[in-house]
Homo-oligomer: A and B are copies of this chain.
Amino acid sequence: MCRWLAYFGNEIRPEALLYDAKYSLVEQSRQGRLTGNLPNADGFGLGWYGDRDVPGLYRSVAPAWGDANLRELARQIRSPLFLAHVRAATGTPVEQTNCHPFRHGRWLFVHNGFIDGYARVRRDLVLEVAPDFFGGIQGTTDSELMFHLALTFGLEDEPLAALERMAWFIEATGRRHGVCEPLQMTVGVSDGERVYAARYASGPVVNSLFVSADACAVRALYPDEEQFQQFSDETRVIVSEPLGDLPGIWHEVAADSALVVQPGDDEHVAFTPRPPTH
């Protein structure tokens, strides 16, 4: 299992969530609480929206906790929207191009999970990627391929629908190859304006996903916790595993559901794989 995090809110330094939180993402990469004790040490990445058209990307194959550059970067930059990911490889090589987030134009994509039977279905999945997006595939992971399938199925216009089509296509392909539970995923996607997150699996076991409570409520709950004062009312953090253990802060995202974090009210909707409409 990989772990990821998406931040949406006022401008902060990523170090607050990557290093300073009690169970920060970098700490989780060395020692997680939710899912056994395999480290997420097969590379990491940080994608952040700044003042350019295209988000910045820092990815490396080193374990996150030992990477001096990540610490520097997380301390120097400020961003109102960023995605971070720590990887535990599930078969594909430990390489920079296999590290999340993946990027296409303004879009970033992170994934926790896997395509079961990937070696068997990979060729069929690759063939489905539209020629326009094919050239953007730089690595060899199932996750990057999921992103390019979603792009093929309209991610830039209908993000959640495209993710549902991608999930459907992977399940259909997997089942044609005799895979019982083809897909395990929590995904985070952003265009710099909104964060889209989905939690889904073909079988009964679904990787964890949490979203932070309303920042007002959190501050009311913990008026003395200084760390919460820096966050605006609209701030939301989506995580594979909670960054701390204070009660009332983290809400589980339901399985088979998706979430849109955006200015104004967020949306919670069902997530149901459905066939692409070619």
Residues on A close to B: CB < 8 A? 30-31, 37-39, 41-42, 48, 50, 52, 56-63, 66, 68-69, 72-73, 75-77, 89, 93-97, 119, 122-123, 126-127, 131, 134-135, 137-140
Contact = CB atoms under 8 A, between A and B. Distances in A.
Contact of A96 (B37, B89, B93): B93
A138 B135 contact: no
Given A62-B61, A135-B119, A39 B39 contact: yes
Given A97-B95, A126-B126, A139-B140, A63 B76 contact: no
A61 B69 CA distance: 12
B138 A138 contact: no
A134 B123 contact: yes
B75 A77 contact: no
Copies in the complex: 4
B138 A94 contact: no
Sort A-B residue pairs by CB-CB distance and give the 7 closest, nearest first.
A37-B37, A56-B76, A39-B39, A66-B94, A41-B41, A123-B134, A95-B95
Given A140-B138, A140-B139, A69 B76 contact: no
A94 B119 CA distance: 24
A133 to B, nearest CB: 10
> Could you say which of A76, A123, A138 has the most chain B C-beta atoms within 10 Å of its C-beta?
A76
Given A41-B66, A138-B140, A140-B140, 10 more contacts: A37-B37, A48-B76, A56-B73, A60-B69, A69-B69, A77-B77, A93-B96, A95-B96, A122-B134, A123-B134
